[in-house]
Amino acid sequence: MHENARATLNTQVFPGVYTAVDRRLRLVTANNVVHFLRESHWPATIQTGIGIGRIGRTSYVASTGLFTADGCAPIPEEARTQLAALLFAESGPISMGV
């Protein structure tokens, strides 16, 4: 389901990217990481969401989530604030003085 969401996004943003004969761009998945937050029991209706976590000059990060009727586990607000402080700036990583 994650792969289907990624491929669907790619075809919308990069038309013809999977047509080998006349494509002008080739996309390669360099890294695939899965984090399991909770079990899903079969049978279940699962919705897939996708968004972009980062855009670089030659790469981008696509982040997907699978959602059941119970939703997806939220990140506590305090943790969100701490994570936001660690976001990369457009010009590069933030120095942490370590």
Q: 12-70: per-residue pLDDT in tens?
A: 999 989 998 888 888 888 888 888 877 788 888 888 889 998 898 889 999 888 888 76
| Three-state SS letters, 30-75 | CCCCCCCCCCCCCCCCCEEEEEEEEECCCCEEEEEEEEECCECCCC
The pLDDT of residue 2 is above 90: no
pTM of the model as a whole: 0.64
